[in-house]
Amino acid sequence: KHTPAKPRLRLLFPLSRTAVSHHVNTLEQAGMLVPTKRGREVFYTLNLELAFSAMAQFKDYAKQMLAEVNGTP
């Protein structure tokens, strides 16, 4: 049996219920999390296409920052 995401996240991270809700809502608004309502509970699925795109952009940014720190173009 699956449990809703927000209570599980509170077990993983030392955040208040309000903070978890805020971050989940922000990720949902950005399209990173896709909600599915089952009765009174909401379950979230990671938008993998968007997540991989964001990781690729972050990787490119990190490479650029590293090159600047190392003084290479």
SS3 annotation, the chain: CCCCHHHHHHHHCCCCHHHHHHHHHHHHHCCCEEEEEECCEEEEEECHHHHHHHHHHHHHHHHHHHHHHHCCC
Per-residue confidence (pLDDT) for residue 14, from 0 to 100: 82
> pLDDT per residue over 1-48, tens digit each?
455 677 777 778 888 888 888 999 999 999 999 999 989 888 889 999
The CA distance from 59 to 39, in Å, is 39
The CA distance from 11 to 38, in Å, is 21
